[in-house]
Amino acid sequence: MNADNQQERSNGGLYNYIAGFVDGEGSFHIAIQRRNSMRLKWQLIPEFRVSQHKDRINMLRIIKKTFGCGIIKPNHRHTNDKNYVYVVRNRDDLYNKIIPFFEKFPLISGKNNDFKKFADIIRRMKNGEHLVKDEFEKMLKVAFSMNRKGKYRTKYNLDSFII
């Protein structure tokens, strides 16, 4: 057994714990941001997040160390919110670290459907499909279907973003 397999075997319990923790406290999200400098005027921003109260921030540190990427920051600056959030936005890290982890240690709730959509969008972005109008609009529709159609999405409707 090589060193990687030995480490994975010894960390299997931790990895499964992290997957379960993310199933309860994490999200896979595709933000949509106006960006006039972009050809299509809109940008998709994939983001993996895990939140936790500041008293239990150590769990976020363990997750960050396990993945070797991302940042931990206050969930909402300038508020009384006592939660912190671990965030990964770097597409290479999402593609090379986050996606393979959750494919190997899958979520067991309905959140796994969001993960699959998230992974598909990131793979399509890696191939440059987000730069083509029709493909961007397809990815946008998938993003709108995620996270039970998300709270902030009530502010906008899908037609607001169609180019």
- The model's pLDDT over 56-89, given as tens digits with 9 standing for 90+, comes to 999 999 999 999 999 999 988 777 778 999 999 9
CATH node for 3-150: 3.10.28.10
Q: How confident is the model at residue 163 (pLDDT cuts 50, 70, 90)?
A: low
CA distances from 152 to 13, 51, 62, 68, 130 (A): 35, 17, 29, 30, 22
Kindly tell me if the per-residue pLDDT of 123 is higher than 50.
yes
- Among 32-36, 72-76, 102-106, the least confident range: 32-36
Kindly tell me if the per-residue pLDDT of 37 is higher than 90.
no
The reported pTM is 0.84
d(CA 32, CA 130): 12
d(CA 87, CA 66): 13
